[in-house]
Amino acid sequence: MATIKELAATPDRLCSGHRLCGGCGASIAVRQVLMGAGDSDVVVTSATGCLEVSTTCYPYSSWSTSFVHNAFANAAATCSGVEAAYKGLKAAGKIPADKEIKFVAFGGDGGTYDIGLQSLSGAMERGHNMVYVCYDNGAYMNTGIQRSSATPKGAWATTSEVGEVLQGKTQKRKDLVSIIAAHGIPYAAQASVGNWKDLVAKAEKAFNVDGPAFLDVLAPCPRGWRIEGDQTVEIARLATNTKFWPLFEVENGKWSMTPVKEKDLLPVSEFLKAQGRFKHLFKPGNEALLEEIQADVDAYYEYLVRRCAETV
């Protein structure tokens, strides 16, 4: 992996001047992921969402690389089609044999966990040489903070309200990395903007494998999470230190975790109470729900520990 000075000198493929919110985790995720592509030419495809609408406001673009905007549901299908066309043009001699291009698709959790899951699964199963990146902010932020299947249990959203009947979302977050890893692809990983070195290293691996790769990157949304814009990285790091968002990878079927020092581990309540979307959980009467969330977090962490131990 390149040194921090070398990474800092890497030309930006997502430039400043875009209209994403201050502290937006998506922009941080994109810049760190694209650092992993090194000096290679890159083609980016992006599902409709915060990232696309805020970086390609006609007639302007914040991208210094080739960029394709596609519909909400087909980021992976578009990227796989472009990658297939590239291979075809190479085979026909219309692109030099030594011309190497990397292909990467970006989508939010709404366009990845839910609406775009079928095209993502298809691209992974067909074996296209591409990287799919989910910038995961845990809701449909671009359209009004509606809950998605990435939204954590107990979180407030405009379609998982807090009141007499409900206390936020009642279901657990979908484990998408395990689902994609089950496709038998060369590389899948869960990462976070709060751990930049780990994220860039995983992006580097993803771009260098021969075949499909998948990254699910925690990318806090200050607006939807009800946090300040300067808290993004701190909250993301807290997610990992409370075991809410473990960092792990599945490399050719081998599972491994990025360790967290025992002294840095905290109860999940520390992650929850730092965000306005969970403030109702700390009101009298919700103690059992907090315990349930902690139990879910512990169970998932133990599941990962077992999976990693099975493939040592």
CATH number at residue 98: 3.40.50.970
Which pLDDT score, from 0 to 100, does residue 101 have? 96
Kindly give the parts of the chain with pLDDT less than 70: 312
Residue 215: domain span:
4-310
Which pLDDT score, from 0 to 100, does residue 7 have? 79
Beta strands in the chain (DSSP E): 41-47, 66-70, 101-108, 131-136, 187-192, 213-218, 248-251, 254-257
Which pLDDT score, from 0 to 100, does residue 17 have? 86
**pLDDT tens sequence across 100-119:** 999 999 999 999 999 999 99
| Of 94, 89, 98, 102, nearest in space to 37 by CA | 102
Residue 304 vs residues 58, 136, 254: alpha-carbon distances, Å: 44, 19, 12
Domain count, the chain: 1
| Of 248, 128, 116, nearest in space to 188 by CA | 248
pTM strictly above 0.85: yes
For 308, the token pair is 């990693």
Which pLDDT score, from 0 to 100, does residue 123 have? 98
